[in-house]
Amino acid sequence: MLDEAHDCTAAQISIVERAGCAKLVVYDPHQCIYQFRGARDARTLERLPAVAHRPLTQTWRYGAPLSDAASALVQHYKGGRYSDFSIRGNPHTTTTLRVEPGRAAGAYSGGQIVV
């Protein structure tokens, strides 16, 4: 299993490609943050032979208000091939979003995420 594969270098991906075993590769092309150290665009991982691609549509990190807002923002700003993007929040987690003019989006304030 290779998790966070979007942060792998070409050499690391090559090791996985040559491994003589079943593979489970998990990546998100929108989270590649290590390009400065040679990480490849996650789309290069799509060349690995795949039995199936499975989108992960459930998060356990935060509740529905944030997942609904994230889904709406992705659909609005990315559109096109992301028009069906949707992620479900953790039904057992309470997340409160609050709009505060003048505060940076994403700030954490009093147990709430500022949008």
For residue range 55-66, list pLDDT tens digits in order: 788 889 889 888
**DSSP character at residue 12:** H
Range of the domain at 98: 64-114
Residue 62 contacts residue 87 (beta carbons within 8 Å): no
**Rama region for 71: left / alpha / beta (φ>0; ψ in -120 to 50; rest):** alpha
What does the chain come to in residues?
Answer: 115
**Are 38 and 74 members of one domain?**
no
Is 41 inside any structural domain?
A: yes
Q: How many domains does the chain have?
A: 2
Is 90 inside any structural domain?
A: yes
**Are 12 and 43 members of one domain?**
yes
Is 34 inside any structural domain?
A: yes
- Read off the pLDDT of residues 78-104 as tens digits, 9 standing for 90 and up: 776 766 778 899 999 888 877 677 766
**Are 79 and 105 members of one domain?**
yes
The reported pLDDT for the residue numbered 32 is: 76
Q: By percentage, how much of the chain surpasses pLDDT 70?
A: 76
Is 58 inside any structural domain?
A: no
**Are 33 and 74 members of one domain?**
no
Residue 20 contacts residue 11 (beta carbons within 8 Å): no
* Residues 6+ away with beta carbon under 8 Å from 93: 60, 61, 62, 63
- Angstrom distance (rounded) from CA 12 to CA 1: 13
The reported pLDDT for the residue numbered 103 is: 67
The reported pLDDT for the residue numbered 9 is: 85
**DSSP character at residue 79:** -
